Chains A and B, each alone.
Chain A
Amino acid sequence: MNKTTSLKKSLYNYFNQIKSLFPFYSKKEKRFLKDFKESVLDYIEDNPNASIDDIILDFGDAPDIVYNYISSLSPEKLQEKLSLSSYIKRAIIVVMIFIFSTLIAYNIYLYDQNISSFSCPKCSKQNQLIHFND
């Protein structure tokens, strides 16, 4: 693996780590990551022999970057972002529970249908006939 490919891979992991550490990820954080990447590329342009360690030394490690970013937000903005993020998480959980319980209910319904068709084959044949007639 040559040096450029290895740096590209390390940078990819570095940016992904930063992204994964954000407790919220909205349009602003997406823009931040884009601008941050641009700054790193500018740094590489100025220092063509820079390694990933040099980059981390200059820009900070992923937890430091996310910590600095969050510390720079105003308390009002931070509260807004955190409450929005927890609201979205709660909404996702509610939707998941709804989908899951619907699936269970549907499976129970199918199971009951199968049981009733086994216990009363004539009824099931009649049902099938009715369906065909429809």
Chain B
Amino acid sequence: MSRNRSKFKTGSVEMVILFLLSKEDLYGYQLTNLIKKLSNGKFVLPESTLYPTLYKLLEKEYISDYEQSSTGRRTRTYYHLEELGFQYLNELIEDYTEITKGIHSILSVEKLED
């Protein structure tokens, strides 16, 4: 079993972030909003969890960041998925599929046998 499979929660957050970044470059607030919107409000990722996860992904060079000026004097930090991150995303999706299969098979048990 890979390390990610045992870190289901962390892996899921990373997977969702990387998946959205595989569609286009996004900034922090956009990411939290998209996650909330696309999950119909069922998955809310607070900024206090989002940013440390992004920093971790940046450190591992799965993503990169760049600044772009927005309204007024403000600048926004956009995140971009790198090739290494794309490979990692595929691993995460594979792990996620395996673990959800495992959970489904647990939940389909009707009676416990000795």
Chain A residues within 8 Å of B, Cβ to Cβ: 28, 31-32, 35-36, 38-39, 41-43, 45, 59-60, 64-69, 71-74
B49 x A68 contact (CB < 8 A): yes
B47 x A35 contact (CB < 8 A): yes
Given known pairs A31-B55, A32-B51, A42-B29, the reply for A59 and B74 (CB within 8 Å) is: no
Shortest CB distance B15–A (Å): 15
A-B contact list, 27 entries, CB within 8 Å:
A32-B48, A35-B47, A35-B51, A35-B77, A36-B48, A38-B27, A38-B28, A38-B76, A38-B77, A39-B28, A39-B29, A39-B32, A41-B74, A42-B27, A42-B29, A59-B47, A59-B48, A60-B48, A64-B48, A65-B48, A67-B48, A68-B49, A69-B49, A72-B48, A72-B49, A73-B52, A74-B56
- Chain B 41-56 against A: per-residue CB contact (8 Å), 1 yes, 0 no? 0000011110111011
Contacts of B32 in A (CB 8 A): 39
Number of A-B contacts (CB under 8 A): 56
Chain B residues within 8 Å of A, Cβ to Cβ: 10, 27-29, 32, 46-49, 51-53, 55-56, 71, 74, 76-77
Complex CA gap A31/B65 in Å reads: 13
Complex CA gap A115/B93 in Å reads: 81
Complex CA gap A60/B46 in Å reads: 8
- Interface SS of B by simple majority: helix
Complex CA gap A38/B49 in Å reads: 15
Contact of A35 among B10, B28, B46, B71 (CB under 8 A): B28
Contact of B46 among A28, A38, A65 (CB under 8 A): A65
- Interface SS of A by simple majority: helix
A72 x B29 contact (CB < 8 A): no
Shortest CB distance A1–B (Å): 23
B46 x A68 contact (CB < 8 A): yes
Contacts of B74 in A (CB 8 A): 38, 41
Contacts of A64 in B (CB 8 A): 46, 48
A38-B27, A65-B47 given. 20 additional CB < 8 A pairs? A28-B55, A31-B51, A32-B48, A35-B77, A38-B28, A38-B29, A38-B74, A39-B28, A39-B47, A45-B71, A59-B47, A59-B48, A65-B48, A67-B48, A68-B46, A68-B48, A69-B51, A71-B49, A72-B53, A74-B56
